Structure 1
Amino acid sequence: MKEDGYKKIVKHYENCLKKHGDTHLGVDWPKLEDVDKRYEVMVDIIRINNDSDNKVSLLDFGCGTAHLFGFLDRKNYHNISYIGLDISQKFIDIAKNKYPNSTFYCVDILDSNKSIPNFDYVIMNGIFTEKRELSFDEMWNYFTKLIAVIYSKTKKGFAFNVMSKTVEWERDDLFHVSLDALSDFLSKKLTRNFIIRNDYGLFEYTVYVFKK
């Protein structure tokens, strides 16, 4: 993958923000009713890891305009200390304006991950669902590099989603990943301690990766 290949994906999301504003469409989620469902599944990594009653730090990686923070507030997740990170200053500026008392980082973690601390949990919602004009191999290269960095920055676990291959048809602009390929990569390169969730009715699946 070209050095700036993934930044084309960032540009796509910035164009969505410009067109649709601070909405679910502004981060290219087509259906509003599915947004909270994804958040519920992502945050469930904390419960499954028996950490529901403990104070934990959570990095919302690719936070956009911090919609996850609003979800956590509505659902009264008071045990979660929220921190947002995005590569796009345009998204971060809106997030900071909405939640001035929260911590946000604007950084490309592949360029430098030393500027941010480690976190108990990292959520990567929608980071790997779209590949846009990148080839599968280019996106896979980006995916594996970024996952390895995130694994080093989390203390307890992280969650991410990708598009499923068990669908009637695939879209060229989406990142459809087979369960076999995903399991093989995680087991050989990171850990065998992970859970794959395919139980929430969307054409994607979510993966919880744990550190013991």
Structure 2
Amino acid sequence: MSNHFKNDIDALAKHYGELVKRHGDAAESAQYADRETQERRMQVLCEIGVTKDSKVLDFGCGTGQMLNLLQRTMEFEGEYVGYDISPEAIEFARSAHPGGRFEVRDVLENPSDETFDYVLVSGVFNNAMSDNRAFFQEVSRRLMAQAGKGYAFNMLSRFVDYFDEGLYYEDPLQAFRFCKEELSPLVTLRHDYAVRPGSIPFEFTIYVNQSDIDPRALNTPKPD
């Protein structure tokens, strides 16, 4: 199932494994410039509604910095689970954060039926792949099925003045449309924050809240 992404995922696992070996628990191991900008992104994700008692899935958890942030900023007492495709990252996370549960898991090859209050995704969709949009959409469908209350993710925006050829920049309106039409009618697009003071917003975050209303029903033409 979804084997057409296997080569991409294997390459990413190797890439991030090497970063962990080189940088350990530093922000650079997750391909961030520094801890300040890494945590700013995570804080925005948590604003979907995460509380100290939530059950959270940190998808693409790296070395587990999200758990550290939750414990420090809101005295987190809920249940934290981290998935990553890098064995090196997971090994480091288990050692550094014994209060969390960490798993090496590719949800396209090895999906889980476990559900969470919130599923949070930071930076996972940023590296250039063979078909980034299809990857983002397929992973999002899987993760939304595990999110009892909501799913939050960030992506690099096409509203920038510089493009790195190794990264993927998405049209935020396309991402919003996909979420609104396929995941839930309750979608918020945030393109209003900067990761450091004085910088121009070059990424966006989307919150997708669960709803009893099937989003596809909203797109069905009504008879005259």
Residue of structure 1 in register with 2:111 after alignment: 113
Superposition pairs of residues 1-212 of structure 1, within 5 angstroms: 1-46=4-49, 52=51, 55-114=53-112, 117-131=114-128, 134-135=129-130, 138-201=131-194, 202-212=201-211
After TM superposition, give the deviation of residue 11 of structure 1 in Å: 1.9
The TM-score with structure 1 as length reference comes to 0.88
| 2:189/2:206 contact within 8 Å kept | yes
| 2:186/2:208 contact within 8 Å kept | yes
Which letter maps to 1:7? Answer: D
The TM-score with structure 2 as length reference comes to 0.83
| 1:6/1:142 contact within 8 Å kept | no
2: CA distance, partners of 1:130 / 1:177? 11
Which letter maps to 1:205? Answer: F
CA-to-aligned-CA distance 1:175-203 (integer Å, 9 cap, x gap): 11112211221222222211111121141
After TM superposition, give the deviation of residue 2 of structure 1 in Å: 4.7
2: CA distance, partners of 1:14 / 1:124? 18
Which letter maps to 1:211? Answer: Q
Q: Which runs of structure 1 show a deviation greater than 4 angstroms over 4 or more consecutive aligned residues?
A: none
After TM superposition, give the deviation of residue 83 of structure 1 in Å: 1.4
2: CA distance, partners of 1:7 / 1:189? 28
User: Looking at CA atoms only, which structure, 1 or 2, has the larger radius of gyration?
Assistant: 2
Which letter maps to 1:9? Answer: L
Number of residues of Structure 1 aligned to a counterpart in Structure 2: 202
Which letter maps to 2:115? Answer: N
Q: 1:35 to 1:145 in 2, by over 3 A?
A: same
The CA RMSD over aligned residues, in Å, is 1.7
Identity across the alignment (%): 28
